[in-house]
Amino acid sequence: MNHPHPDLGLPPALVDGGLRIVALGGLAEIGRNMTIFESKGKLLILDCGVLFPEDSQPGIDLILPDFSYIRDRLADVVGLVLTHGHEDHVGAVPYLLRERGDIAIYGSALTLALVSAKLKEHRITPLTHEVREGGHEDIGPFELEFVAVNHSIPDSLAVVINTDAGRILHTGDFKMDQLPLDARVTDLGTFARLGQEGVDLFMVDSTNADVPGFTPSEREIMPALNRVIASTKRRVIVASFSSHVHRVQQVIDIAAEHGRKAAFIGRSMVRNMKIAEEMGYLKIPDNVLMDAKDLDSFDDNVVLICTGSQGEPMAALARMANGDHQIRVGEGDTVILASSLIPGNENSVFRIINELTRFGAKVVHKANALVHVSGHAAAGELLYCYNIVKPEYVIPVHGEWRHMKANAELAIQSGVGRSHALIIENGIVVDLVDHELSVVGAVPCGFVYVDGQSIGDITEASLKDRRILGEEGFISVVVVIDSQSGKIVAGPDIHARGFNEDMALFDDVKLKIEKVLAVAVADGINGTHQLSQIVRKTVGGWVGGEHRRKPMIIPVVIEV
């Protein structure tokens, strides 16, 4: 647990008629989006996502929002509203429902279907309420309105939150694709109407705020995908997010056009696309889709659509790159990475590209072909929104510091007062009282690590130990001393891992250990803990001075 701003104390009690806003994730990071809104003693949660670990977090599977702020008040939660079905917005829902299983979940049809399938794997049956764009819901003291927005997954929503204190418009993740594949454009008419009626606080997706102009339409990748698939002699393997229905639709349409069969590879891809097809979001022509189990009986005229575009170690593409998947990638195959790089995943993705290339495949990705467009609004789109919404206050959300800063500057350029564009971090408490917004404090808000079955047990200190073990190695020293005389009767025995296996290397330090222990015992020091620390310091000083390394050192002094 870390306190985001030590100069900010805990917030005072919320004043009557006020609205309190606390982000528990999603600010100054891409992932684990979760925001708490409080009014009249009731809590509304917007999104509940996960963050994926970086190389500096070895052994970690997922990172969750920190629920400690609401843990004692779960009975006050009136609902969980989900803007769309991406993992960074819904991935932590199972972990929240473990704390209280009957929290009502509000979302669009596809979002709820994807979340329900995920919860089924956790043996949780959720209480769901389907909402649609243009719809209104009263959830406790919160009057909600839902607005259609375009994103890289169907059925995404922006959310209007009306309270006695004022009105908030939260975009969720969005862009302004004017020719979307499903003809469902971002509802700028409603944005403009809300602007005319008055928006006190606009919470805006920042992911592409530092990218000038407008994000290209999803349709614009069609020619590049078509060209690559048409020119490939053997198999085409397309790696994409398992929720990107529109991208998968384009790949299937192109496969059908070129007389190729298509197959889904990877558990989440198979599950999500089955849901999307059953609900009518994905349309698959007759006799195009085949079961992956039947691949051996087909020739190479196939397109395989798989998971793993971010280098996830257990996903299908990573296993192909490692050579431990039933599908062996080789000469003449083309692999298309139809996604952007999430910050922190670069090394994993580049390693996969290198391995696939070594096997003889041609790898096509965003850097060498237009095979991906973003799902987030660029600076031109954001400015357009600021001009029609005309908010009184702005809080940039969903982005790293550079994205949020760029977004705030866009708001200021459009006429929002500099002091009314707030860049805040997770845990900062903001109150809206009588249409005026102010920072009133901060609450403890840290990373919660999931490691296998362990949730929240791994600390920053544990991760530091893992990094040291991974990067610097391990040395153990065992010394047995006579409890009466203090003389060494056995050892020092030194064992090293991930350091230098030549045991003769340690002869010098063994003599040093014997000398310092003799001096310590002569000075009257005889506790095993104190003697262990002397051994640790001696070995640490030697290995640091001689080898410029800082391995983990475990000294064991035994009295007999």
Q: What is the mean pLDDT of each run of 10 residues along the chain (560 residues)?
A: 65 94 93 94 95 61 84 95 94 92 95 93 92 96 97 95 96 94 94 97 96 93 89 87 90 92 89 93 90 73 84 77 82 85 72 87 83 91 97 95 95 96 94 94 82 57 54 72 67 68 66 72 69 75 70 73
Q: Are 392 and 201 in contact (CB under 8 A)?
A: yes
Q: Is 338 helix (H, G, I), strand (E, B) or coil?
A: coil
Tell me what pLDDT residue 339 has. Answer: 80
Tell me what pLDDT residue 453 has. Answer: 57
| For the chain, counts of helices (H) and of strands (E) | 15, 25
Tell me what pLDDT residue 349 has. Answer: 83
Return d(Cα 104, Cα 116) in angstroms, integer. 12
Q: Is 268 helix (H, G, I), strand (E, B) or coil?
A: helix
CA 7, 420, 84, 319 torsion-angle sign: negative
- Closest of 160, 165, 164, 186 to residue 175, by C-alpha: 186
Domains, in order of start, for the chain: 19-214+375-455 (3.60.15.10), 218-364 (3.40.50.10710), 472-559 (3.10.20.580)
Q: Is 86 helix (H, G, I), strand (E, B) or coil?
A: coil
- Closest of 337, 372, 118, 93 to residue 220, by C-alpha: 372
CA 397, 400, 406, 409 torsion-angle sign: positive
Tell me what pLDDT residue 446 has. Answer: 82
Buried b (16+ CB within 10 A) or exposed e, 242-277: bbbbbbbbbbbbbbbeeebbbbbbbebbbbbbebbb
Tell me what pLDDT residue 509 has. Answer: 73
Return d(Cα 397, Cα 422) in angstroms, integer. 10
- Closest of 199, 202, 300, 201 to residue 258, by C-alpha: 300
User: In 307-417, which ranges are E strands?
Assistant: 334-337, 362-364, 393-397
User: CB atoms < 10 A from the CB of 323, how many?
Assistant: 10
Return d(Cα 35, Cα 20) in angstroms, integer. 10
Query: Could you tell me the CA-to-CA distances from 371 to 215, 245, 339 in Å, in that order?
Result: 14, 15, 8
- Closest of 488, 475, 493 to residue 514, by C-alpha: 488
Q: Is 108 helix (H, G, I), strand (E, B) or coil?
A: coil
Tell me what pLDDT residue 1 has. Answer: 34
**Three-state secondary structure readout of 286-313:** CCCECCHHHHHHCCCCEEEEECCCCCCC
What would the two tokens of residue 492 be? 């020092």
User: In 67-120, which ranges are E strands?
Assistant: 77-81, 104-107
Tell me what pLDDT residue 415 has. Answer: 95
Residues 6+ apart with CB under 8 A from 183: none
Q: Would you put residue 538 in left (φ > 0), alpha (ψ -120 to 50) or beta?
A: alpha
**How are strands ordered across the β-sheet holding 448-451?**
62-64, 448-451, 454-455
Q: What is the DSSP string of 257-276?
A: HTT-EEEEESHHHHHHHHHH
User: CB atoms < 10 A from the CB of 98, how many?
Assistant: 12
Which residues are bridge partners to 555 per DSSP? 477
Tell me what pLDDT residue 472 has. Answer: 62
User: CB atoms < 10 A from the CB of 447, how many?
Assistant: 23
Predicted TM-score of the model (pTM): 0.80
Return d(Cα 362, Cα 251) in angstroms, integer. 17
Q: Is 27 helix (H, G, I), strand (E, B) or coil?
A: strand
Cβ burial of 527 (10 Å; 0-12, 13-18, 19+) is: exposed
- DSSP state, 525? -
Return d(Cα 337, Cα 367) in angstroms, integer. 10
Return d(Cα 206, Cα 424) in angstroms, integer. 13
- In the chain, the amino acid numbered 22 is V
Which residues are bridge partners to 429 per DSSP? 22, 441
Return d(Cα 322, Cα 311) in angstroms, integer. 11
- DSSP state, 411? H
- Closest of 267, 231, 228, 235 to residue 250, by C-alpha: 228
Measured between its terminal Cα atoms, the distance across the chain in Å is 42
Query: Residue for token digits 């003291």?
Result: 141
